[in-house]
Chain A
Amino acid sequence: MTAPLLEVQDLVVHYPGGGLFRRGAPVCAVNGVSFSVARGETLALVGESGSGKSSLARTILRLQAKQGGTVRFGGTDLFALRGRALRAERRRLQIVFQDPASSLNPRMRIGDAVAEGLAIHALAPRAEWPARVAALLGEVGLDPALAARWPHELSGGQKQRVAIARALAVEPALVVLDEAVSALDVSVQAQVLTLLTTLQQRRGLAYLFIAHDLAVVAQVAHRVAVLYAGRVVEEGPVGSILTAPRHPYTQALLAAVPAPDPSAPPPRLLLQGDPPDPSALPPGCPLWPRCPHPARDAHCQAERPALRPVGPTHAACHHAGPAA
Protein backbone atom coordinates (compact mmCIF):
# COMPACT_ATOMS: atom_id res chain seq x y z
CA MET A 1 0.00 0.00 0.00
CA THR A 2 1.43 3.34 -1.05
CA ALA A 3 1.28 6.46 1.07
CA PRO A 4 -2.04 8.33 0.93
CA LEU A 5 -2.31 11.26 -1.45
CA LEU A 6 -3.82 13.52 1.19
CA GLU A 7 -3.24 12.96 4.87
CA VAL A 8 -4.85 15.20 7.47
CA GLN A 9 -3.90 14.70 11.11
CA ASP A 10 -5.39 16.27 14.23
CA LEU A 11 -6.43 19.37 12.32
CA VAL A 12 -7.74 22.20 14.47
CA VAL A 13 -9.37 25.36 13.10
CA HIS A 14 -10.70 27.99 15.48
CA TYR A 15 -12.02 31.45 14.70
CA PRO A 16 -11.67 34.34 17.13
CA GLY A 17 -14.83 35.09 19.10
CA GLY A 18 -17.17 37.83 18.05
CA GLY A 19 -18.09 40.98 19.90
CA LEU A 20 -16.23 44.15 20.65
CA PHE A 21 -12.47 43.51 21.08
CA ARG A 22 -13.08 39.87 20.18
CA ARG A 23 -13.83 38.94 23.75
CA GLY A 24 -16.42 36.33 22.82
CA ALA A 25 -15.65 32.63 23.06
CA PRO A 26 -13.72 31.34 20.04
CA VAL A 27 -15.69 29.39 17.43
CA CYS A 28 -14.25 25.88 17.41
CA ALA A 29 -15.03 24.84 13.82
CA VAL A 30 -12.65 21.89 13.51
CA ASN A 31 -11.50 20.08 16.65
CA GLY A 32 -8.87 17.46 15.85
CA VAL A 33 -9.86 15.84 12.58
CA SER A 34 -7.81 13.09 10.93
CA PHE A 35 -8.44 11.33 7.64
CA SER A 36 -6.67 10.35 4.45
CA VAL A 37 -7.54 10.10 0.78
CA ALA A 38 -5.78 7.63 -1.52
CA ARG A 39 -5.05 8.26 -5.20
CA GLY A 40 -8.12 7.69 -7.35
CA GLU A 41 -10.38 7.46 -4.31
CA THR A 42 -13.47 9.45 -3.28
CA LEU A 43 -13.82 10.28 0.39
CA ALA A 44 -17.11 11.94 1.28
CA LEU A 45 -17.18 14.35 4.21
CA VAL A 46 -20.74 14.48 5.44
CA GLY A 47 -22.19 16.83 8.00
CA GLU A 48 -24.82 19.42 8.73
CA SER A 49 -24.27 23.16 8.78
CA GLY A 50 -21.76 24.13 11.42
CA SER A 51 -20.16 20.68 11.42
CA GLY A 52 -16.91 22.18 10.12
CA LYS A 53 -16.83 20.59 6.68
CA SER A 54 -16.29 23.79 4.70
CA SER A 55 -13.68 25.06 7.19
CA LEU A 56 -11.86 21.78 6.67
CA ALA A 57 -11.91 22.16 2.89
CA ARG A 58 -10.66 25.72 3.00
CA THR A 59 -7.87 24.82 5.40
CA ILE A 60 -6.69 21.87 3.33
CA LEU A 61 -6.32 24.24 0.36
CA ARG A 62 -4.46 26.65 2.65
CA LEU A 63 -7.09 29.29 2.04
CA GLN A 64 -7.09 29.91 5.77
CA ALA A 65 -4.94 29.33 8.83
CA LYS A 66 -5.02 26.34 11.17
CA GLN A 67 -4.43 26.27 14.90
CA GLY A 68 -3.04 22.75 15.05
CA GLY A 69 -2.38 19.51 13.20
CA THR A 70 -0.82 18.75 9.84
CA VAL A 71 -1.94 18.52 6.23
CA ARG A 72 0.32 16.42 4.03
CA PHE A 73 -0.28 16.24 0.30
CA GLY A 74 1.77 13.73 -1.68
CA GLY A 75 4.00 13.44 1.41
CA THR A 76 4.68 17.19 1.57
CA ASP A 77 3.62 19.30 4.55
CA LEU A 78 1.47 21.94 2.83
CA PHE A 79 1.80 24.41 5.68
CA ALA A 80 5.61 24.33 5.43
CA LEU A 81 5.51 25.59 1.84
CA ARG A 82 5.74 29.16 0.63
CA GLY A 83 5.81 31.05 -2.65
CA ARG A 84 6.70 29.11 -5.75
CA ALA A 85 6.70 25.70 -4.07
CA LEU A 86 3.25 26.30 -2.57
CA ARG A 87 1.91 27.41 -5.93
CA ALA A 88 3.28 24.26 -7.57
CA GLU A 89 1.55 22.02 -5.02
CA ARG A 90 -1.68 23.98 -5.30
CA ARG A 91 -1.84 23.12 -8.98
CA ARG A 92 -2.29 19.49 -7.97
CA LEU A 93 -5.07 20.39 -5.52
CA GLN A 94 -8.15 22.08 -6.96
CA ILE A 95 -11.58 22.99 -5.69
CA VAL A 96 -15.07 23.30 -7.18
CA PHE A 97 -17.54 25.34 -5.14
CA GLN A 98 -21.30 25.05 -4.71
CA ASP A 99 -22.34 28.11 -6.67
CA PRO A 100 -20.77 28.29 -10.12
CA ALA A 101 -22.45 31.65 -10.78
CA SER A 102 -20.33 33.30 -8.09
CA SER A 103 -17.12 31.33 -8.72
CA LEU A 104 -16.90 32.30 -12.40
CA ASN A 105 -15.79 35.82 -13.29
CA PRO A 106 -18.80 37.41 -15.04
CA ARG A 107 -16.48 39.55 -17.19
CA MET A 108 -14.38 36.69 -18.47
CA ARG A 109 -15.39 34.60 -21.45
CA ILE A 110 -15.71 30.86 -20.78
CA GLY A 111 -12.64 30.06 -22.84
CA ASP A 112 -10.50 32.61 -20.99
CA ALA A 113 -11.76 31.33 -17.64
CA VAL A 114 -10.72 27.79 -18.51
CA ALA A 115 -7.35 28.95 -19.91
CA GLU A 116 -6.54 31.05 -16.84
CA GLY A 117 -4.97 28.16 -14.96
CA LEU A 118 -2.84 27.24 -17.99
CA ALA A 119 -1.52 30.80 -18.00
CA ILE A 120 -0.90 31.05 -14.25
CA HIS A 121 0.99 27.79 -14.10
CA ALA A 122 2.62 28.26 -17.55
CA LEU A 123 1.44 24.82 -18.60
CA ALA A 124 1.21 25.45 -22.32
CA PRO A 125 2.31 28.09 -24.84
CA ARG A 126 -0.42 30.62 -25.62
CA ALA A 127 -0.87 29.24 -29.14
CA GLU A 128 -2.01 25.93 -27.70
CA TRP A 129 -4.62 27.37 -25.35
CA PRO A 130 -7.60 27.33 -27.73
CA ALA A 131 -7.05 23.66 -28.55
CA ARG A 132 -6.56 22.78 -24.86
CA VAL A 133 -9.71 24.69 -23.88
CA ALA A 134 -11.73 22.98 -26.63
CA ALA A 135 -10.51 19.58 -25.46
CA LEU A 136 -11.35 20.38 -21.82
CA LEU A 137 -14.84 21.65 -22.68
CA GLY A 138 -15.40 18.51 -24.71
CA GLU A 139 -14.20 16.37 -21.82
CA VAL A 140 -16.82 17.86 -19.46
CA GLY A 141 -19.54 17.36 -22.06
CA LEU A 142 -19.83 20.92 -23.35
CA ASP A 143 -19.78 22.20 -26.90
CA PRO A 144 -16.30 23.74 -27.48
CA ALA A 145 -18.08 26.66 -29.19
CA LEU A 146 -19.16 27.79 -25.70
CA ALA A 147 -15.61 29.13 -25.21
CA ALA A 148 -16.72 32.40 -26.81
CA ARG A 149 -19.70 32.82 -24.48
CA TRP A 150 -20.10 34.67 -21.17
CA PRO A 151 -21.03 32.94 -17.89
CA HIS A 152 -24.50 34.54 -17.77
CA GLU A 153 -25.38 32.89 -21.07
CA LEU A 154 -24.98 29.42 -19.56
CA SER A 155 -27.35 27.36 -17.41
CA GLY A 156 -26.41 26.36 -13.85
CA GLY A 157 -25.40 22.88 -14.92
CA GLN A 158 -23.26 24.22 -17.79
CA LYS A 159 -21.53 26.68 -15.45
CA GLN A 160 -20.71 23.90 -13.02
CA ARG A 161 -19.22 21.89 -15.91
CA VAL A 162 -17.09 24.93 -16.75
CA ALA A 163 -15.93 25.12 -13.12
CA ILE A 164 -14.94 21.45 -13.36
CA ALA A 165 -13.09 22.10 -16.66
CA ARG A 166 -11.22 24.97 -14.99
CA ALA A 167 -10.13 22.67 -12.19
CA LEU A 168 -9.05 19.95 -14.65
CA ALA A 169 -7.08 22.39 -16.81
CA VAL A 170 -4.12 22.32 -14.43
CA GLU A 171 -4.15 18.51 -14.16
CA PRO A 172 -4.80 18.09 -10.46
CA ALA A 173 -4.40 14.87 -8.50
CA LEU A 174 -7.15 15.77 -6.05
CA VAL A 175 -10.27 17.88 -6.49
CA VAL A 176 -12.22 19.14 -3.48
CA LEU A 177 -15.91 19.23 -4.41
CA ASP A 178 -17.53 21.51 -1.83
CA GLU A 179 -21.28 20.89 -2.19
CA ALA A 180 -20.54 20.95 -5.92
CA VAL A 181 -23.88 19.46 -6.99
CA SER A 182 -26.11 20.76 -4.17
CA ALA A 183 -27.44 23.78 -6.06
CA LEU A 184 -28.31 21.84 -9.21
CA ASP A 185 -31.72 20.51 -10.15
CA VAL A 186 -32.04 16.79 -9.65
CA SER A 187 -31.89 15.86 -13.37
CA VAL A 188 -28.80 18.05 -13.91
CA GLN A 189 -27.27 16.76 -10.69
CA ALA A 190 -27.49 13.18 -11.94
CA GLN A 191 -25.64 14.15 -15.14
CA VAL A 192 -22.87 15.98 -13.29
CA LEU A 193 -22.40 13.04 -10.89
CA THR A 194 -22.02 10.71 -13.88
CA LEU A 195 -19.48 13.12 -15.38
CA LEU A 196 -17.48 13.20 -12.14
CA THR A 197 -17.34 9.40 -12.04
CA THR A 198 -16.21 9.21 -15.67
CA LEU A 199 -13.50 11.81 -15.11
CA GLN A 200 -12.25 10.00 -12.04
CA GLN A 201 -11.87 6.74 -13.95
CA ARG A 202 -10.26 8.38 -16.96
CA ARG A 203 -7.80 10.58 -15.07
CA GLY A 204 -7.29 8.64 -11.85
CA LEU A 205 -8.51 11.64 -9.85
CA ALA A 206 -9.06 11.61 -6.12
CA TYR A 207 -12.08 13.51 -4.78
CA LEU A 208 -12.78 14.98 -1.40
CA PHE A 209 -16.55 15.14 -1.78
CA ILE A 210 -18.14 17.47 0.75
CA ALA A 211 -21.89 17.07 0.96
CA HIS A 212 -24.90 17.07 3.22
CA ASP A 213 -27.00 14.83 0.96
CA LEU A 214 -26.41 11.18 1.82
CA ALA A 215 -28.23 9.89 -1.24
CA VAL A 216 -25.78 11.77 -3.47
CA VAL A 217 -22.87 10.45 -1.41
CA ALA A 218 -24.15 6.92 -1.96
CA GLN A 219 -23.59 7.34 -5.69
CA VAL A 220 -20.03 8.61 -5.72
CA ALA A 221 -18.13 7.85 -2.51
CA HIS A 222 -15.83 4.95 -1.70
CA ARG A 223 -15.49 5.93 1.93
CA VAL A 224 -17.47 8.31 4.14
CA ALA A 225 -16.44 10.38 7.16
CA VAL A 226 -19.33 11.82 9.18
CA LEU A 227 -18.63 15.11 10.93
CA TYR A 228 -20.43 16.43 13.98
CA ALA A 229 -19.41 19.56 15.86
CA GLY A 230 -16.01 19.68 14.18
CA ARG A 231 -15.08 16.04 14.81
CA VAL A 232 -15.24 12.84 12.82
CA VAL A 233 -17.79 10.71 14.66
CA GLU A 234 -17.81 7.79 12.22
CA GLU A 235 -15.71 6.77 9.26
CA GLY A 236 -15.81 3.72 7.02
CA PRO A 237 -16.65 2.17 3.66
CA VAL A 238 -19.71 3.75 2.02
CA GLY A 239 -21.73 0.52 2.08
CA SER A 240 -21.25 0.04 5.82
CA ILE A 241 -21.89 3.66 6.74
CA LEU A 242 -25.12 3.87 4.73
CA THR A 243 -26.62 0.48 5.51
CA ALA A 244 -25.25 -0.43 8.95
CA PRO A 245 -24.02 2.71 10.71
CA ARG A 246 -22.75 2.22 14.26
CA HIS A 247 -22.74 5.78 15.57
CA PRO A 248 -26.09 7.09 16.85
CA TYR A 249 -25.61 10.36 14.97
CA THR A 250 -25.06 8.59 11.64
CA GLN A 251 -28.12 6.48 12.37
CA ALA A 252 -30.21 9.57 13.11
CA LEU A 253 -28.92 11.34 10.02
CA LEU A 254 -29.89 8.41 7.80
CA ALA A 255 -33.25 7.95 9.48
CA ALA A 256 -34.09 11.61 8.81
CA VAL A 257 -33.69 11.31 5.02
CA PRO A 258 -37.16 11.04 3.49
CA ALA A 259 -37.37 8.23 0.96
CA PRO A 260 -38.86 9.16 -2.44
CA ASP A 261 -41.21 6.21 -2.12
CA PRO A 262 -44.78 6.40 -0.76
CA SER A 263 -44.61 2.81 0.50
CA ALA A 264 -41.43 3.36 2.53
CA PRO A 265 -41.77 3.81 6.26
CA PRO A 266 -41.90 7.50 7.24
CA PRO A 267 -38.65 9.05 8.44
CA ARG A 268 -37.99 8.52 12.12
CA LEU A 269 -37.24 11.48 14.27
CA LEU A 270 -34.27 10.46 16.37
CA LEU A 271 -32.74 13.86 17.08
CA GLN A 272 -34.44 16.83 18.66
CA GLY A 273 -33.14 20.37 18.70
CA ASP A 274 -30.26 21.87 16.78
CA PRO A 275 -26.58 20.97 16.41
CA PRO A 276 -24.47 22.59 19.15
CA ASP A 277 -23.12 26.11 18.89
CA PRO A 278 -19.45 25.76 17.89
CA SER A 279 -18.52 28.50 20.34
CA ALA A 280 -20.10 26.63 23.27
CA LEU A 281 -19.54 22.93 22.71
CA PRO A 282 -20.70 20.62 25.48
CA PRO A 283 -17.98 18.77 27.42
CA GLY A 284 -17.69 15.04 26.82
CA CYS A 285 -19.40 13.63 23.75
CA PRO A 286 -20.65 16.51 21.56
CA LEU A 287 -23.82 14.58 20.76
CA TRP A 288 -24.58 13.92 24.42
CA PRO A 289 -27.38 16.51 24.92
CA ARG A 290 -29.31 15.19 21.88
CA CYS A 291 -28.21 11.57 21.75
CA PRO A 292 -30.97 9.02 21.04
CA HIS A 293 -28.88 6.02 22.17
CA PRO A 294 -30.67 4.11 24.94
CA ALA A 295 -27.40 3.49 26.83
CA ARG A 296 -26.46 7.17 27.03
CA ASP A 297 -25.08 7.84 30.51
CA ALA A 298 -22.94 10.06 32.72
CA HIS A 299 -19.79 8.66 31.12
CA CYS A 300 -20.86 10.24 27.79
CA GLN A 301 -21.23 13.59 29.47
CA ALA A 302 -17.88 13.36 31.22
CA GLU A 303 -15.53 11.88 28.66
CA ARG A 304 -15.24 12.54 24.95
CA PRO A 305 -15.20 9.23 23.05
CA ALA A 306 -12.34 8.62 20.63
CA LEU A 307 -12.71 6.98 17.22
CA ARG A 308 -12.33 3.22 17.63
CA PRO A 309 -12.97 0.26 15.34
CA VAL A 310 -16.56 -0.97 15.61
CA GLY A 311 -17.34 -3.70 13.10
CA PRO A 312 -16.44 -2.48 9.60
CA THR A 313 -16.37 1.22 10.57
CA HIS A 314 -14.66 3.44 13.12
CA ALA A 315 -17.05 5.20 15.48
CA ALA A 316 -16.54 7.74 18.28
CA CYS A 317 -19.15 6.47 20.73
CA HIS A 318 -18.75 4.80 24.12
CA HIS A 319 -21.77 2.61 23.48
CA ALA A 320 -21.50 1.71 19.81
CA GLY A 321 -21.47 -2.05 19.48
CA PRO A 322 -20.67 -4.40 16.59
CA ALA A 323 -24.37 -5.29 16.36
CA ALA A 324 -26.04 -1.93 15.97
Chain B
Amino acid sequence: MIKVKINGQEQSWDGDPDLPLLWFLRDETGLTGTKYGCGQALCGACTVIVDKQAVRACITSVNDVAGREVTTIEGLHPNGDHPVQKAWRQVNVPQCGFCQTGQIMQAAALLMDNPKPSHDQIREAMSGNICRCGCYQRIENAVHLASTGV
Protein backbone atom coordinates (compact mmCIF):
# COMPACT_ATOMS: atom_id res chain seq x y z
CA MET B 1 0.00 0.00 0.00
CA ILE B 2 1.48 3.32 -1.10
CA LYS B 3 0.49 6.45 0.76
CA VAL B 4 0.83 9.87 -0.77
CA LYS B 5 -0.45 13.29 0.26
CA ILE B 6 -2.27 15.07 -2.52
CA ASN B 7 -3.39 18.66 -1.94
CA GLY B 8 -3.12 18.02 1.80
CA GLN B 9 -5.19 14.84 1.75
CA GLU B 10 -3.79 11.40 2.36
CA GLN B 11 -4.44 8.98 -0.53
CA SER B 12 -3.53 5.35 -0.77
CA TRP B 13 -2.91 3.01 -3.70
CA ASP B 14 -2.57 -0.74 -3.68
CA GLY B 15 -2.43 -1.25 -7.45
CA ASP B 16 0.57 -1.25 -9.79
CA PRO B 17 3.25 0.84 -8.03
CA ASP B 18 4.65 1.81 -11.45
CA LEU B 19 1.38 3.46 -12.48
CA PRO B 20 2.24 6.98 -13.66
CA LEU B 21 1.12 9.58 -11.15
CA LEU B 22 -0.76 11.28 -14.01
CA TRP B 23 -3.23 8.43 -14.36
CA PHE B 24 -3.48 7.92 -10.61
CA LEU B 25 -4.51 11.56 -10.29
CA ARG B 26 -6.86 11.63 -13.26
CA ASP B 27 -8.48 8.20 -13.29
CA GLU B 28 -8.16 6.89 -9.75
CA THR B 29 -8.49 10.12 -7.76
CA GLY B 30 -10.66 12.20 -10.12
CA LEU B 31 -8.29 15.16 -10.18
CA THR B 32 -8.62 15.88 -13.90
CA GLY B 33 -7.03 19.33 -13.84
CA THR B 34 -3.69 17.65 -14.54
CA LYS B 35 -3.64 16.87 -18.27
CA TYR B 36 -2.22 14.21 -20.55
CA GLY B 37 -0.44 15.65 -23.57
CA CYS B 38 2.43 13.34 -24.50
CA GLY B 39 3.24 10.75 -21.83
CA GLN B 40 6.99 11.32 -22.32
CA ALA B 41 7.70 14.52 -20.36
CA LEU B 42 7.91 16.44 -23.63
CA CYS B 43 4.99 18.87 -23.29
CA GLY B 44 4.48 19.76 -19.62
CA ALA B 45 0.67 19.49 -19.66
CA CYS B 46 0.83 17.16 -16.64
CA THR B 47 3.03 19.40 -14.47
CA VAL B 48 2.40 19.12 -10.74
CA ILE B 49 4.44 20.28 -7.79
CA VAL B 50 6.09 17.66 -5.58
CA ASP B 51 7.75 19.08 -2.50
CA LYS B 52 8.14 22.53 -4.12
CA GLN B 53 9.50 21.18 -7.41
CA ALA B 54 7.76 21.06 -10.76
CA VAL B 55 7.44 17.45 -11.84
CA ARG B 56 5.98 15.79 -14.94
CA ALA B 57 3.35 13.45 -13.60
CA CYS B 58 3.39 11.32 -16.77
CA ILE B 59 6.85 9.88 -16.10
CA THR B 60 6.64 9.91 -12.30
CA SER B 61 5.24 6.75 -10.78
CA VAL B 62 2.97 6.64 -7.76
CA ASN B 63 5.79 4.81 -6.01
CA ASP B 64 8.15 7.75 -6.72
CA VAL B 65 5.97 10.07 -4.66
CA ALA B 66 5.28 7.68 -1.79
CA GLY B 67 5.23 9.66 1.44
CA ARG B 68 5.64 12.95 -0.37
CA GLU B 69 3.44 15.96 -0.86
CA VAL B 70 1.87 16.48 -4.29
CA THR B 71 0.15 19.72 -5.24
CA THR B 72 -2.05 19.79 -8.34
CA ILE B 73 -3.84 22.73 -9.92
CA GLU B 74 -6.85 21.92 -7.73
CA GLY B 75 -4.73 22.50 -4.63
CA LEU B 76 -2.70 25.50 -5.74
CA HIS B 77 -5.02 27.97 -4.01
CA PRO B 78 -8.39 27.33 -2.33
CA ASN B 79 -10.19 29.96 -4.42
CA GLY B 80 -8.04 29.85 -7.50
CA ASP B 81 -6.47 33.16 -6.54
CA HIS B 82 -2.79 32.27 -6.55
CA PRO B 83 -0.91 35.27 -8.04
CA VAL B 84 -0.13 33.21 -11.14
CA GLN B 85 -3.80 32.33 -11.63
CA LYS B 86 -4.83 35.95 -11.14
CA ALA B 87 -2.19 37.15 -13.57
CA TRP B 88 -3.33 34.56 -16.10
CA ARG B 89 -6.86 35.95 -15.99
CA GLN B 90 -5.72 39.54 -16.11
CA VAL B 91 -3.69 38.92 -19.25
CA ASN B 92 -6.39 36.72 -20.84
CA VAL B 93 -3.79 34.06 -21.53
CA PRO B 94 -5.70 30.95 -22.61
CA GLN B 95 -7.12 30.02 -25.95
CA CYS B 96 -8.29 26.39 -25.73
CA GLY B 97 -6.88 26.26 -22.21
CA PHE B 98 -5.91 22.60 -22.15
CA CYS B 99 -2.19 23.10 -21.44
CA GLN B 100 -2.77 26.01 -19.10
CA THR B 101 -2.96 24.14 -15.82
CA GLY B 102 0.44 22.63 -16.52
CA GLN B 103 1.76 26.05 -17.53
CA ILE B 104 0.40 27.60 -14.34
CA MET B 105 1.95 24.90 -12.14
CA GLN B 106 5.29 25.34 -13.89
CA ALA B 107 5.09 29.12 -13.44
CA ALA B 108 4.13 28.76 -9.77
CA ALA B 109 7.14 26.47 -9.21
CA LEU B 110 9.40 28.93 -11.04
CA LEU B 111 8.31 31.81 -8.82
CA MET B 112 8.83 29.74 -5.66
CA ASP B 113 12.40 29.21 -6.75
CA ASN B 114 13.01 32.62 -8.32
CA PRO B 115 10.50 35.28 -7.30
CA LYS B 116 11.74 37.87 -9.81
CA PRO B 117 12.76 36.03 -12.99
CA SER B 118 14.02 38.01 -15.97
CA HIS B 119 12.29 37.61 -19.34
CA ASP B 120 15.06 35.27 -20.47
CA GLN B 121 14.69 33.21 -17.31
CA ILE B 122 10.93 33.01 -17.85
CA ARG B 123 11.39 31.91 -21.45
CA GLU B 124 13.87 29.27 -20.42
CA ALA B 125 11.90 27.93 -17.47
CA MET B 126 8.64 27.75 -19.42
CA SER B 127 10.09 26.09 -22.52
CA GLY B 128 9.25 22.60 -21.36
CA ASN B 129 5.56 23.45 -21.62
CA ILE B 130 4.04 23.36 -25.08
CA CYS B 131 1.02 25.45 -26.05
CA ARG B 132 -0.19 24.46 -29.52
CA CYS B 133 -2.57 27.43 -29.63
CA GLY B 134 0.50 29.61 -29.23
CA CYS B 135 -0.21 31.71 -26.13
CA TYR B 136 3.48 32.13 -25.31
CA GLN B 137 3.58 35.91 -25.51
CA ARG B 138 0.78 36.17 -22.98
CA ILE B 139 2.18 33.40 -20.78
CA GLU B 140 5.45 35.29 -20.58
CA ASN B 141 3.63 38.52 -19.75
CA ALA B 142 1.47 36.80 -17.13
CA VAL B 143 4.45 35.22 -15.35
CA HIS B 144 6.14 38.60 -15.36
CA LEU B 145 3.00 40.22 -13.97
CA ALA B 146 2.67 37.56 -11.26
CA SER B 147 6.27 38.19 -10.24
CA THR B 148 5.78 41.93 -9.93
CA GLY B 149 2.47 41.86 -8.06
CA VAL B 150 -0.98 41.35 -9.56
Partners in one complex: no
| Residue positions of B touching A, CB distance < 8 A | none
